[in-house]
Amino acid sequence: MQGAYLAARGRLASSPQAGQRDPRNGCEQALAHSIAGNELTLFAGQHPQRTRGLVYLDTTYDYSRDDTTDPEITLPDNPALHEPEPSAADLASLDAAMAFGRRTSKHWSPPLQAQMREALAVQPDGSVASNTPPAVAQAMVASANAFTPDYRAVRAPALVVAAYPGTQRDLFPWLSEPLADARTRADAQTLLAVLRNARAADEARLTRALPGSRLLRLHDANHADCFIEYEAAVLQALEGMRW
């Protein structure tokens, strides 16, 4: 499943390692990160006999809903806060793409580097491009954001990991610190507050939908790599689950 990670004792890995494969069912433990939570919920509901436990890594209760809007708050539309897209120069080579990933990540690490390398195809001229055709990527995003998961069929115990951004660096890692522009500083703080409130409300919905679930909150965390930055805490919570 896209965005899924396998759990090996003492570490989290983005690719299979020895001892992680179940020859009959595919893998011993699967963790869904972000929008892959939809796939986790769907699989667990359709195959309860093959589901021992679930781990939702900073996923959302229902991606078809927009819960970041507040009628009393006007969300700032500041170009500096838009996640940057790689330029032609950033895609000129694999090294250039890796440098872009490093500049735009809070904690650049071997797993993120491996994930980026796996997602890119080297072209004959040495440049790189996504190995997923744009039409396929767009269809995947549209489908995932139109899907409303049904948690009623889920029977397995679940660990819910929620990441809370605390600073500008957690939400906008590509920006330099400290920010010199007063408007961008204010806009960043507004979005941080909105996202934290939305995260709390969404976390409550998800845990209510999964009776008996356990919750782990990660503060001052970035959505993309929270489980890497706080790997020890996530592994401790995993080992404390009774699957």
For the stretch 164-187, pLDDT in tens is: 999 999 999 999 878 879 999 999
Phi, psi torsion values for 33, nearest 5 degrees: -110, 135
Give CA torsion, residues 114, 237, 66, 104, to 10 deg: -30
Strand partners for 221 = none
Whether the pLDDT of residue 20 is over 90: the answer is no
pLDDT of the residue at 141: 87
pLDDT of the residue at 10: 39
pLDDT of the residue at 179: 80
For residue 110, give Cα distances in angstroms to 2, 21, 42, 175, 178: 18, 22, 30, 22, 27
Measured CA to CA, the distance from residue 42 to residue 141 in angstroms comes to: 16
Whether the pLDDT of residue 220 is over 80: the answer is yes
3-state secondary structure of 130: strand
Query: Residue 216's Cα: distance from chain center in Å?
Result: 15
Whether the pLDDT of residue 129 is over 60: the answer is yes
Q: Which residues of 200-220 are buried (b: 16+ CB within 10 A; e: fewer)?
A: eebbeebbebbeebbbbebee
Tokens of 151: 């948690």
Q: Are strands 4-8 and 11-13 parallel, antiparallel or unpaired?
A: antiparallel
Whether the pLDDT of residue 70 is over 70: the answer is no
Percent of the chain with pLDDT over 90: 71
pLDDT of the residue at 18: 35
Of the candidates 40, 21, 18, 44, the residue with the CA atom closest to the CA atom of residue 31: 40
Confidence band (pLDDT; 50, 70, 90) for 71?
low
pLDDT average, residue stretch 47-70: 85
pLDDT of the residue at 24: 54
Rg (CA), the chain: 19
